[in-house]
Structure 1
Amino acid sequence: MKKITILGSINVDVILKIARLPKPGETMKMKSLATAGGGKGANQAIAAVRSGAATTFIGKVGNDGYGKKMLTLLKKDSIDTTNVVVKKDGQTGQAYILLQDSGQNSIIINGGTNLEITAADVINAQDSIKNADFIIAQFEVKLERIMEAFSIAHKNKVTTILNPAPAQSVADDLLKITDLIIPNEIEAQMLTGIKITDKDTAAAAAKILREKGTRNVIITLGSKGAYYLTEDDEGLIPALKVKAIDTTAAGDTFIGALCSQLENNLANIKEAIEYATKASAITVQTLGAISSIPTRKQINN
């Protein structure tokens, strides 16, 4: 069983179903409103544990209704929340998801307590980092905290996995202690300046990321699949053709499921990507984030 530690965000998703995005100055009615558990970190943790990984979370929530709801959700899936700090006067993170009839979504985030994780919180969780096979982080927490956590992992030979989302620039110092980076097309373009349209442009972007210090790269390409580049191999794993109802958490499911299957030396990366691709394809066929993430049994059927 893989041991995975996740430093990341815990949000409650507020899902607004709409026919399409409104035009500037336009007022339009929504079709429905719903709330659900989410946050990139929480989604990835749920995906990992449902695929059989022992998963520990480092994060922060407020002492509010949303925070209590999210802690209950994480514990229900047997995620170790010992290092999830409850801030007395904090506001748990929220994501407002504009879900269109096409299945595509646009997301607006209020970071809340996700942005209040401190250096002391990371230090207090260092045993969970040192004892993991992998540590995963995303950009919904401060980059300083990721740097601190990855530094602990790097010194203890724990594989570091970075999901640079939402897209923003990142210092090469962080990339140099990242063993595997997993951006989508938009994030890869932000980091490299290359517009990703196919395997060749993905390969060019991946090589730039290698030059910046990251040894291994996976670029997810939506309906085109996922391109990977390691020290020993490269290739494109095609996506499965399914009818997408809601793409929320598709990328997070991919990452969590992938890491549950990866060997520590990434030798089986192709097989792990194929497994993660199946997991992601199941997720997009169901509305919601955490509620749509499949188990290992569902993926292997």
Structure 2
Amino acid sequence: MTGREKEILEHLKKDPMMPQSDLADLLGITRSSVAVHIANLMKKGHILGKGYIVREDAYVCVIGGSNVDIQGFPTTELIYRDSNVGKVKVSMGGVGRNIAENLVRMGVHTKLISAIGDDLYGDKILEEAKSVGLDMVDTLVVQGGETSTYLSILDDSKDMILAISHMDIMEHLTIEFIKRKHHIIENAALCILDTNLPLETIEYILTTFKDKQFFLDTVSSTKAQKVASLIGYFNTIKPNRIEAEMLTGVPIKSETDATIAADRFHEKGVVNVFISMGEKGIYASGPEGGQFIKAPKIEIVNATGAGDAFIAALAKASLMELTQLETAKMAIAASGIALSHENTINPQMSEGLLFKKMEVL
């Protein structure tokens, strides 16, 4: 936003119905110049339209993958290299999309920048977003493209054993496309990226919007590797133990190892680090120091969406300016809510349920 645009915006906040001629007189510029500046403010999303209604609501911008999840659940113990009796479930997924939907269910205005095809799956993703209130206006719909598909097999304990990800369409999220979404990123309260994005696109975003708080979902150890050299640009990261080992070079076998790994992240410039230690809980490290928070034992119904809910809660906690301990508890609570439902995203996820679960941690 230019200095002149800021001046105009401040006047319109005080008087949304102020005529352009009055603005021109106040600023000592022509009416036509005021019209140009207002048009730019509208393009950038600061002004909503007639009456110069100023946008005040904070939003989170999520940039990442959207796909259709196809999950196979065996009825009994999984038998390898054989046909297993069980159930197959189709649902909307994708790390970025899942994070965004969780945020919406937590009461956070969220915009998702992703890529989908103009096919049946893409239409379904847009319909689902509309039904829950997720803003996908800025998502790229690729003509003739195939919407990403994620095929996974879970074992009898509902943990993911293997998966195949077909996400070629994400290559369409180029630097040129992101440039057209400059105002969306610039005006967000914070941004969340997942590593399904092309590396050059991630690098462009991080190096262009240097004053923006970026949260990283590493997605997997393989995909996390490509952002190893950029890790210091992120304000907050949420790796699991294996991903943390890969990004820091520190083998994590104990709680002490986790503290060393977190320190390595801080040395690179990361402000907040939340390392998932599985059943042992979370190691949270930031300006308030480091601490382990144990996760409560719960019956796992589906383990695939816990990480997405976790980072969504980190973002919500940041918007609420919660303490480090409160933030970790909110994230653990969100993860637990996700684990307790057969869907990747628990439809009962809400701000009220989050705080209720936090009370017993």
Give TM-score scaled by structure 2 length.
0.77
Name 2:215's counterpart in structure 1. 161
- Give the secondary-structure state (helix, strand or coil) at the position aligned to 2:188: coil
Give TM-score scaled by structure 1 length.
0.91
1:34-49 equivalent positions in 2, closer than 5 A: 34-49=89-104
- Give the secondary-structure state (helix, strand or coil) at the position aligned to 1:174: helix
149 and 98 in structure 1: CA distance in 2 versus 1, 3 angstrom threshold: same
Give the alignment partner of residue 28 of structure 1, picking from 83, 88, 97. 83
> What is the identity, as a one-letter code, of the residue corresponding to 1:165?
V
Preserved CA contact (<8 Å) 1:17 1:99: yes
Name 1:206's counterpart in structure 2. 262
> What is the identity, as a one-letter code, of the residue corresponding to 1:162?
L
- Give the secondary-structure state (helix, strand or coil) at the position aligned to 1:205: helix
Name 1:82's counterpart in structure 2. 137
Root-mean-square deviation (CA, aligned residues, Å) is 1.9
83 and 20 in structure 1: CA distance in 2 versus 1, 3 angstrom threshold: farther
Q: Percent of counterpart pairs with the same letter? A: 27
Name 2:153's counterpart in structure 1. 98
Q: Which has the higher contact order (CA 8 A, sep 6+)?
A: 1
User: What is the total number of aligned residue pairs between the two structures?
Assistant: 296
Provide the C-alpha distance between the structure 1 equivalents of 2:196 and 2:155, rounded to a whole number of angstroms. 23
Name 1:222's counterpart in structure 2. 278
> What is the identity, as a one-letter code, of the residue corresponding to 1:296?
E
Provide the C-alpha distance between the structure 2 equivalents of 1:291 and 1:271, rounded to a whole number of angstroms. 21
Summarize deviations over 1:21-59 as a string: whole Å, max 9, x none: 544xx2222411110011100110011111111111111
Shift of 1:236: 1.3
Provide the C-alpha distance between the structure 1 equivalents of 2:278 and 2:130, rounded to a whole number of angstroms. 30
Provide the C-alpha distance between the structure 2 equivalents of 1:292 and 1:219, rounded to a whole number of angstroms. 26
Runs of 4 or more off by more than 6 Å in structure 1? none
Preserved CA contact (<8 Å) 2:199 2:227: no
- Give the secondary-structure state (helix, strand or coil) at the position aligned to 1:80: coil
Shift of 1:149: 1.8
Flag structure 2 segments of 5+ consecutive residues without an equivalent.
1-56, 357-361
Q: Relative to total residues, which structure has the larger strand share, 1 or 2?
A: 1
Shift of 1:271: 0.7
Q: Relative to total residues, which structure has the larger helix share, 1 or 2?
A: 2
- Give the secondary-structure state (helix, strand or coil) at the position aligned to 2:114: strand
Q: Which has the larger radius of gyration?
A: 2
Provide the C-alpha distance between the structure 2 equivalents of 1:2 and 1:238, rounded to a whole number of angstroms. 32
Name 1:132's counterpart in structure 2. 188
Shift of 1:75: 2.0
